[in-house]
């Protein structure tokens, strides 16, 4: 029976919401923080309370750790830029446009250099410009104007942190495990495709897509790890150090890149024919295990057992040993023999590093029993 258009639409919307739950939670937090900041600014009678609202929108990030980092940078940039801009504004108070333009250059140039060196000060030049050129700042005391802006931004920052902690809170470690799960999904497909390439040509475009996707996900993983470290240093979580996960994930991807370089073309017969069955078993067992590890990270559950992967790897090693004993490798070109040994080395390294990553999954697994649970940031 064919589903109705409404049922199909509802199903598609449900699937979209399930994929974008992290982004939707962020949007809800941002909207709540903006409304709360506006209400508090109005209640306090702040002359330009919209700065508090701006701050909440800028500071709210996907995780609590990200919000803390953005808050610190916002406050540092505001204090530095506001103080320096206020000094320049006092020095040129009542001057004509030419002097004000010169003051603007004196204010922006050093702050721009500092911002280029230290990203925490990237908002400092903007704050100085506001202090110098805002019509309100030109009609009131630069000191009072700067203090008002600092107070409004401080209010917005406090609201943003409070909302991050209380409204649909997202912990960086949950985002870390979810991103690691996505990465392992790409690497599982990459692993299977690479080993298939030893028997027949594979889709080069798909290989390239998986390489790019895994590289981008690793970059996201590094950013999330920084947020997780900030949460740990702020004692907002007692989850393990995120750095070993990122380091080991890098090693696993590098092992697969080395494997792909050795498997750039199919192996010639008779070696290819004799290894085909072992390679097929290894691709199947290894791909299944990597996908199971991906699911374990995504749901913060226990990693899958390694027995099947290890058995397939032993079968491959036995085939290589048999080829050497039979002398099958002797007449082959040095380049082909080198590829075969590189494959063996890369597979051994992959097994070791992937096993270490499984240990990290076990450390991050939730203590609850009764099966895996969906990782909800």
Distance (Å, rounded) from C-alpha 55 to C-alpha 371?
Answer: 41
Residue 105 has pLDDT above 70, yes or no: yes
- Looking at the structure, do residues 216 and 134 belong to the same domain, yes or no? no
What's the distance, CA 70 to chain centroid?
A: 16
- Looking at the structure, do residues 115 and 59 belong to the same domain, yes or no? yes
Residue 7 falls inside a structural domain: no
* Number of domains making up the chain: 2
120 DSSP 8-state letter: G
- Looking at the structure, do residues 294 and 331 belong to the same domain, yes or no? yes
Please tell me the predicted confidence (pLDDT) of residue 138: 56
372 pLDDT band, cuts 50/70/90, is: very low
Please tell me the predicted confidence (pLDDT) of residue 214: 94
Q: How many CB atoms lie within 10 A of CB 261?
A: 13
Contact assessment for residue 65 and residue 229, using Cβ atoms and an 8 Å cutoff:
yes
Instruction: Convert the pLDDT of each residue in 41-55 to its tens digit.
Output: 888 888 778 888 888
Q: What is the DSSP string of 34-51?
A: HHHHHHHHHHHT-TTTHH
Residue 293 falls inside a structural domain: yes
What's the distance, CA 107 to chain centroid?
A: 35
Residues 6+ apart with CB under 8 A from 125: 81, 107, 108, 111, 112, 115
Residue 207 falls inside a structural domain: yes
Residue 362 has pLDDT above 90, yes or no: yes
Average pLDDT for 182-196: 94
Please tell me the predicted confidence (pLDDT) of residue 373: 39
Residue 350 has pLDDT above 90, yes or no: yes
Residue 377 has pLDDT above 70, yes or no: no
Residue 10 falls inside a structural domain: no
- Comparing 63-67, 209-213, 216-220, 311-315, the range with the smallest average pLDDT is 63-67
- CATH number for position 311: 1.20.58
- Looking at the structure, do residues 139 and 216 belong to the same domain, yes or no? no
Average pLDDT for 261-280: 86
- Looking at the structure, do residues 140 and 204 belong to the same domain, yes or no? no
Task: Kindly report the average pLDDT of the chain as a whole number.
Answer: 84
Please tell me the predicted confidence (pLDDT) of residue 243: 93
Please tell me the predicted confidence (pLDDT) of residue 168: 76
The CA–CA distances, whole Å, from 143 to 84, 97, 147, 150 equal 11, 21, 6, 11
| Angle ∠(292,296,301) on CA atoms, nearest 5 | 140
Point out the domain boundary residue: 166, 187, 205: 166
Residue 15 falls inside a structural domain: no
Contact assessment for residue 59 and residue 71, using Cβ atoms and an 8 Å cutoff:
yes
Residue 255 has pLDDT above 70, yes or no: yes
Residue 325 falls inside a structural domain: yes
- Looking at the structure, do residues 157 and 176 belong to the same domain, yes or no? no
Is 51 buried (19+), middle (13-18) or exposed (0-12) by CB count in 10 A? buried
Please tell me the predicted confidence (pLDDT) of residue 285: 95
Residue 247 falls inside a structural domain: yes
Distance (Å, rounded) from C-alpha 323 to C-alpha 160?
Answer: 64
> Over pLDDT 90: what percentage of the chain?
34
Please tell me the predicted confidence (pLDDT) of residue 10: 63
Instruction: Convert the pLDDT of each residue in 9-20 to its tens digit.
Output: 666 666 656 567
- Looking at the structure, do residues 160 and 180 belong to the same domain, yes or no? no
pLDDT top residue among 8 and 291: 291
- Looking at the structure, do residues 203 and 133 belong to the same domain, yes or no? no
Provide the Cα torsion 206, 207, 212, 215; round to 10°. 140
- Looking at the structure, do residues 206 and 222 belong to the same domain, yes or no? yes
Point out the domain boundary residue: 166, 196, 215: 166
Please tell me the predicted confidence (pLDDT) of residue 130: 80
Nearest Cα neighbor of 56 from 33, 74, 81, 73 is 33
- Looking at the structure, do residues 253 and 348 belong to the same domain, yes or no? yes
Average pLDDT for 245-269: 90
Residues 6+ apart with CB under 8 A from 75: 153, 154, 157
Tell me which residue range forms the domain holding 41. 25-166
- Looking at the structure, do residues 206 and 236 belong to the same domain, yes or no? yes
Is 5 buried (19+), middle (13-18) or exposed (0-12) by CB count in 10 A? exposed
Please tell me the predicted confidence (pLDDT) of residue 370: 39
- Looking at the structure, do residues 198 and 309 belong to the same domain, yes or no? yes
Please tell me the predicted confidence (pLDDT) of residue 92: 81
Instruction: Convert the pLDDT of each residue in 318-348 to its tens digit.
Output: 999 998 888 888 888 888 888 888 999 999 9
Residue 6 falls inside a structural domain: no
Point out the domain boundary residue: 166, 184, 205: 166
Residue 232 has pLDDT above 60, yes or no: yes
172-196 and 334-364 are packed helices; what angle lies between their axes, rounded to 10 degrees? Answer: 150
């Amino acid at each position: 029976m064919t589903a109705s258009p409404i049922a199909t639409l509802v199903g598609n919307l449900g699937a979209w919401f399930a994929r974008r739950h992290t982004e939707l939670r962020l949007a809800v937090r941002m909207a709540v923080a903006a409304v709360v900041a506006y209400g508090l600014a109005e209640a306090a009678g702040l002359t330009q309370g919209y700065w508090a609202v701006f701050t909440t929108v800028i500071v709210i990030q996907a995780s609590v750790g990200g919000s803390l980092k953005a808050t610190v940078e916002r406050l540092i940039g505001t204090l530095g830029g506001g103080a320096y801009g206020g000094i320049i504004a006092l020095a040129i108070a009542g001057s004509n446009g030419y002097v004000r333009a010169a003051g603007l250059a004196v204010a922006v140039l050093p702050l721009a250099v500092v911002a280029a060196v230290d990203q925490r000060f990237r908002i400092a030049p903007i704050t100085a410009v506001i202090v110098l050129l805002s019509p309100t700042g030109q009609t009131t005391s630069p000191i009072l104007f700067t203090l008002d802006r600092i107070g409004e931004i401080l209010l917005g920052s406090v609201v943003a942190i409070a909302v991050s902690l209380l409204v649909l809170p997202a912990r960086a470690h949950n985002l870390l495990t979810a991103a690691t799960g996505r990465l392992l999904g790409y690497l599982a497909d990459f692993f299977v495709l690479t080993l298939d390439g030893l028997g027949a040509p594979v889709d080069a475009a798909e290989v390239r897509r998986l390489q790019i996707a895994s590289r981008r996900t690793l970059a996201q993983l590094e950013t999330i790890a920084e947020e997780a470290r900030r949460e740990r240093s702020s004692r907002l979580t007692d989850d393990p150090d995120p750095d070993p996960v990122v380091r080991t994930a890098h090693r696993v991807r590098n092992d697969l890149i080395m494997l792909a370089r050795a498997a750039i073309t199919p192996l010639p017969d008779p070696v290819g024919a004799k290894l085909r069955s072992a390679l097929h078993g290894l691709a199947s067992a290894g791909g299944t295990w990597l996908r199971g590890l991906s699911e374990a990270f995504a749901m913060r559950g226990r990693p899958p057992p390694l027995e099947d992967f290890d058995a397939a790897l032993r079968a491959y090693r036995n085939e290589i040993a048999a080829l050497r004993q039979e002398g099958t490798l002797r007449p082959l070109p040095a380049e082909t023999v080198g590829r075969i040994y590189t494959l063996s080395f890369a597979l051994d390294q992959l097994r070791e590093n992937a096993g270490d990553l499984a240990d990290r999954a076990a450390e991050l697994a939730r203590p609850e029993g009764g099966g895996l649970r969906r990782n909800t940031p």
